[in-house]
Structure 1
Amino acid sequence: MRKIDKSILAKVIKPRDPISYKGNYGRILIIAGSIHFGGAAILSSSAAVYSGAGLVTVATTPEKFASLNTRIPEAMTIDYHDQKETLNSIKQSNVIVIGPGLGISELTQSLIKSVIENTTKNQTIIFDASALTEVSEENIDITSISANVILTPHQGEWQRLSELEIPDQTTDNNLEAINKLAPSSLLIVKKHLSEIYYHDNVSQIKAGNAGMATGGMGDTLTGVIAAFVGQFGFSEETVAAALFLHSYISDSIYEKSFVVLPEKLISEIPLAMKSIIIK
Structure 2
Amino acid sequence: MYGGAGILAAQGAVYSGAGLVTLASDPVNRSALHARLPECMFLDWTNHGLLLERLSQFDTILIGPGLGLDGVAYTLMEMVLSGVSASQNVIIDGDGITLYAKGDLPRPDASLYFTPHAGEWERLSGLTDDCETNLEKAKELGATVILKGHRTRVFAEDEVWQNMYGSSAMATGGMGDTLAGIIAGLMKQAAEPIEGVLAAVFFHSYIGDILAKKRFVVLPSQIATELPIYLKIFSEMSESAY
TM-score category, normalised to shorter length: over 0.9
Q: Secondary structure at the match of 2:32?
A: helix
Q: Secondary structure at the match of 1:202?
A: strand
User: Please, which of 160, 179, 187 is the counterpart of residue 145 of structure 2?
Assistant: 187
The one-letter amino acid of 2:60's match is V
What's 1:226 paired with? 184
Question: What TM-score, normalized to structure 1?
Answer: 0.82
What's 1:4 paired with? none
Q: Secondary structure at the match of 2:21?
A: strand
Distance 1:40 1:203, change over 3 A: same
Q: Percent identity?
A: 39
What's 1:173 paired with? 133
* Contact 1:148-1:234 within 8 A present in 2 as well: no
* Contact 2:118-2:148 within 8 A present in 1 as well: yes
Q: 2:72 matched to 1:107?
A: yes
User: Please, which of 52, 56, 62 is the counterpart of residue 27 of structure 2?
Assistant: 62
Q: For residues 31-46 of structure 1, what are the structure 2 equivalents within 5 Å? A: 34=1, 37-46=2-11
Task: Kindly provide the CA deviation profile for residues 152-175 of structure 1, in whole angstroms up to 9, marking residues without a partner as x.
Answer: 0000000001112x3xx2111212
Q: For residues 23-172 of structure 1, what are the structure 2 equivalents within 5 Å? A: 34=1, 37-142=2-107, 145-164=108-127, 166=128, 169-172=129-132
Range 206-215 or range 225-234, more displaced: 225-234
Stretches of structure 1 that go unaligned for 5 or more consecutive residues are: 1-33
The one-letter amino acid of 1:77's match is F
Shift of 1:109: 1.4
**Aligned equivalents of 1:60, 1:131: Cα separation in 2:** 14
**Aligned equivalents of 2:186, 2:153: Cα separation in 1:** 18
User: Please, which of 215, 233, 237 is the counterpart of residue 275 of structure 1?
Assistant: 233
**Aligned equivalents of 2:15, 2:220: Cα separation in 1:** 12
* Contact 2:187-2:195 within 8 A present in 1 as well: no
Q: Secondary structure at the match of 1:197?
A: strand
What's 1:263 paired with? 221
CA RMSD of aligned residues (A): 1.2
Question: What TM-score, normalized to structure 2?
Answer: 0.94
What is the number of equivalent residue pairs in this alignment?
A: 237
Q: Secondary structure at the match of 2:160?
A: strand
Shift of 1:89: 1.8
Shift of 1:42: 1.1
Q: For residues 189-208 of structure 1, what are the structure 2 equivalents within 5 Å? A: 189-208=147-166
The one-letter amino acid of 2:126's match is E
